[in-house]
Amino acid sequence: MASIKQITVWARGVIQDKEGRDISNGIAAAADFEGKFTQAFDNYVDLPDRVNVPLRKYARISDEEIEERYEYENEHPEIVILADATIVKGMNVLRGMPKGGTLVVNTDRSPDDILKFIPNKELLKQIVCVDANGICGDRTVDFSGSEGGIDSVGIGAGVAAPILGALVKGTKLVKLESLAKVVKNNEAMYKGFDQAKVKTL
């Protein structure tokens, strides 16, 4: 199944748990509106209930039906999203990425500043930087919607919205209109789309 696009989101435990989940759920729900087959799920290997621990959230988008249902990990992510930029120093975030991938980072620094910390940057085709904390400012510290519960806050109320906008600008994975149907804070999403800095390597 080579047509599956794997997306891995790295976020910080507890303080960004909802944001990371919103990014993976939001992109999957938007692709679902366009008639694609999608999956989005959390990772429990990382023990996410500890403050600041790096954790992963996953999404898969495919044109055909996704058959690998019981693999709860993206081994070869084409797109990696960092909800917090300092994770580049703590993790090999590009592990398993095939050549020509995309990295989306929430940071106020320039793409070159982030590339300094990535030793295996030859895997990347492009890097997208967006100052999501500067656009929205607020973080949704909330656990609603986790583990299959009802999401009472809604997708993309916090910094997930500008990151999703930047992701669309860099990858053209989904249309911005279908993302706007899913994301709650539309204004921040369009701002993230406009202000994202894309650097092709």
Partner 1 sequence: MPYFKIPKEKEVPLGCITPAPVGEQPMMITGNWRIYRPVIEQEKCTLCMSCVIFCPDACWQLNAEEDEVVWNAKYCKGCSICVRECTSGALSTAYELDFEDGVVRLEKPF
Among 69, 89, 99, 172, binds partner 1 (CB under 8 A): 89
46 near partner 1 (CB under 8 A)? yes
Q: What is the dihedral of CA 153, 155, 157, 159, to 10 degrees?
A: 130
Residue 141 one-letter amino acid: V
Which lies closer to partner 1 via its Cβ, residue 85 or residue 168?
85
95 near partner 1 (CB under 8 A)? yes
Taken as a whole, the chain contains a residue count of 201
3 near partner 1 (CB under 8 A)? no
Query: Looking only at residues 115 through 134 of this chain, which bind partner 1 when binding is defined by CB under 8 A?
Result: 116-117, 119
**Exposed, middle or buried by CB within 10 Å (0-12, 13-18, 19+), for 70?**
exposed
The number of residues that bind partner 1 (CB under 8 A) is: 25
11 near partner 1 (CB under 8 A)? no
**In sequence order, which residues have a C-beta less than 8 Å from that of residue 95 and are 6 or more positions away?**
none
85 near partner 1 (CB under 8 A)? yes
Query: How large is the greatest C-alpha to C-alpha distance in the chain, in angstroms?
Result: 41
- Contacts with partner 1, residue ranges (CB under 8 A): 12, 45-47, 51-56, 84-87, 89-92, 95, 107, 109, 113, 116-117, 119
